[in-house]
Amino acid sequence: MVTHSKTFREQVLNDDLIHALGEYFFRKESGDWWLMATQLIQIGPGNVAQKLHRDLENFPAFIKMGKSGPCVAANCMIALTEFTEENGATRIIPGSHEWDNFEMSEEERFRHEDTIPALMKAGDMLIWDGKVVHSGGENKTDSEYRRGIALPLTPAYFTPEETYAFSIDLEIVRTLPARVQKMIGFRSVFPASGSGLWQHNFEKLEDYLGLH
């Protein structure tokens, strides 16, 4: 989404609500945060349900830590069409962020019959902690496409899914607000402890790159 859409870069990524959510989920325990990924996800007729999962599973140590670990992923799904039970609305298992064991076998822990659909109108947004079990739903319609933008966030001490720093043109990055530059890996980041990450010669990355 970042490389494909100017509107996405300049408006969605610079929206105050997204920044308030990042601060809410990560600032106190983890410090700086950035994007884990940005994807447009379309589910069409005949698409089966996505595998039930927790978004924190990218970071194995936090599966072990379970419910007592810090929040290491928070996801936003912005509906671009209506999300219905029939067309593949995102499904979640309420309360699954508080289960005692995040390490149970797949059959034990993830059952589609325990899920509920997140019914949304275009423009609504579903927000969930990476500890919550969820999936994209099955599309049982003949002709409807469910389309949404997923915008997962993660502390900046983690490797994101997407390699923004290597895939976004620096000239585009120069035109973006500082807080968006940081979200996509073009500024140094500061976890809640330690002396900072993603630096060059003890210099802030943004200074090395000449960003303003």
Ligand X SMILES: O=C(O)CCC(=O)C(=O)O
**Which of Fe ion, ligand X, none has residue 154 at its interface (CB below 5 to 8 Å by kind)?**
none
| Span from 94-102, 108-116, 128-136, 191-199 in contact with ligand X (CB under 6 A) | 128-136
Q: Considering the complex, what minimum distance in angstroms separates the CB of residue 185 from Fe ion?
A: 21
Least Å distance, CB 23 to Fe ion, is 22
12 binds, among Fe ion, ligand X, none (CB under 5 to 8 A by kind): none
Q: Does 75 bind ligand X (CB under 6 A)?
A: yes
Kindly state whether residue 136 participates in binding ligand X, applying the rule CB under 6 A.
Answer: yes
**Alpha-carbon distances of 4 from 85, 148, 167, rounded to whole Å:** 29, 15, 11
Q: Which residues contact 52 (CB under 8 A, 6 or more apart)?
A: 91, 93, 110, 111, 112, 115, 133, 134, 135
Nearest CB to Fe ion, comparing residues 150 and 168? 150
Residue 89 C-beta: closest distance to ligand X, Å: 7
- Those residues whose C-beta lies under 8 Å from the C-beta of residue 160, and which sit 6 or more positions away, are 34, 35, 36, 37, 154, 185
Strand order in the sheet with 134-135: 116-117, 91-92, 134-135
Contact residue for Fe ion among 22, 37, 55, 160 (CB under 5 A): 55
Long-range CB pairs of 188-194 (<8 Å, 24+ gap) are 189/31, 189/32, 189/34, 189/156, 189/157, 190/31, 190/32, 190/156, 191/30, 191/31, 191/32, 191/155, 191/156, 191/157, 192/27, 192/28, 192/29, 192/30, 192/31, 193/31
Nearer to ligand X, 18 or 150 (CB): 150
Interface pick for ligand X out of 93, 150, 153, 205 (rule CB under 6 A): 150
Site string for ligand X, 31-70 (x = CB under 6 A): ----------x--------x----x---------------
Binding interface with Fe ion (CB under 5 A): 55
Binding interface with ligand X (CB under 6 A): 41, 50, 55, 75, 77, 90, 134-136, 150, 152
